[in-house]
Amino acid sequence: MRIVALLTVLVLCPAAAMASPQGDAAEARRYRTCLAKAHSTPSAAYEEALAWQSEGGGAPALHCVAMALLGLRAYADGAEKLEALAYSPDISSPELADAALIQAGEAWLQAGRPADAVRVLDRALQHQPGNVPALINRARALRALGKVQAAGKDLDAVLNVQPHNALALRLRAALRLSTRDLAGAQRDIDAALASEPDNIESLVLRGQIREALRTR
C-alpha cells in the first residue's frame, strides 16, 4: 500500500479564480485541510469535498474527492477522478496535468488495472520522459502485464540518472530473478540494501535470490 505517496499535494493554485487575496488564502487552507482529512478520516473528507465541489470548488475540490476515494480504498473511482482532474480546465499548466496523470497511474495500479496505469503514464511520459516516479510505476505496470523487457528499460532509465534508487534496484532485481539473470539480480539487490539495509522487501528478495543461486 502506497497511499501516503498518493497524498502528495498537487499545487493546483486552488483560488486562481477568486477575486481577493483573502479569498485565495481561505481556499488554500480549505484545500490543505481537506487533503489532510483524506488521509486521516477519508469518509468525512469525501463528504466535505463533494459539498465543496457543488459550491464550485473546481480542481482543488475534485482533487480532494479523488484523494478521499483513495483513502477509502476505492482505487478505480479515485483513478477516474484523477484523470478527470488532469483534463480539467481549472488546471493551470501541463505540468500539473501530468502530475495528476502520474497519481492516476499509481491509483490504477492499486486497483489492479495495470493496462490503465500504462495508458495514463504513457501520456504523462510523453511530456516528461525522464520523470522517475512515472517510469517506476510504468515498470511495475508493465511487469504485471508480462512485459518484462519493457519494464526493464524503464528501470534502466531510472538507474541511469539515479543509480542508488533503492526501489528501482529492488524492482530490477526481481525482474532479473524472474528471467534467471541471477548474477544481475544479486548485484541489484546488494546495491538496494546498501541504500536501505533494513528494507524488508529487499531482505526477502535477497533470500529468494540466494535460494535460486543455491539450486540452479
pTM of the model: 0.84
Give the pLDDT confidence score for residue 5 in this predicted structure.
38
Within a domain: 111: no
- Report the CATH number at residue 152: 1.25.40.10
Statement to judge: residues 83 and 15 lie in one domain: yes
Q: Which of 86-100, 156-170, 197-211 has the lowest mean pLDDT?
A: 86-100
Q: Are 105 and 138 in contact (CB under 8 A)?
A: yes
Average pLDDT, the chain: 89
Distance separating the N- and C-terminal Cα atoms of the chain = 33
- Which cell numbers hold the place of 20? 481577493
Give the pLDDT confidence score for residue 209 in this predicted structure.
97
- Whether the pLDDT of residue 145 is over 50: the answer is yes
- Whether the pLDDT of residue 142 is over 50: the answer is yes
Statement to judge: residues 60 and 154 lie in one domain: no
User: Higher confidence at residue 94 or residue 199?
Assistant: 199
Tell which of 89, 104, 119 closes a domain: 104
Give the pLDDT confidence score for residue 94 in this predicted structure.
85
Within a domain: 119: no
Distance CA 8, CA 46 (A): 17
Per residue in 53-69, pLDDT (tens digit) is: 999 988 899 999 999 99
- Whether the pLDDT of residue 21 is over 60: the answer is no
Q: How many CB atoms lie within 10 A of CB 134?
A: 26
Domain that holds residue 181: 129-216
Within a domain: 66: yes
Instruction: Domain count for the chain, please give it.
Output: 2
Span 108-116, average pLDDT: 97
Give the pLDDT confidence score for residue 95 in this predicted structure.
85
Give the pLDDT confidence score for residue 11 in this predicted structure.
40
36 burial type by CB count under 10 A (0-12 exposed, 13-18 middle, 19+ buried): middle
Per residue in 160-199, pLDDT (tens digit) is: 999 999 999 999 999 999 999 999 999 999 999 999 999 9
Q: Are 57 and 94 in contact (CB under 8 A)?
A: no
φ/ψ (deg, to 5) at 182? -70, -35
Please provide the DSSP assignment of 107-129 as one string: HHHHTT-HHHHHHHHHHHHHH-T
Q: How many CB atoms lie within 10 A of CB 57?
A: 23
Statement to judge: residues 100 and 164 lie in one domain: no
Statement to judge: residues 97 and 159 lie in one domain: no
Structure confidence at residue 23 as a pLDDT band (50, 70, 90): low
Per residue in 147-158, pLDDT (tens digit) is: 999 999 999 999
Give the pLDDT confidence score for residue 16 in this predicted structure.
36
Amino acid identity at 136? I
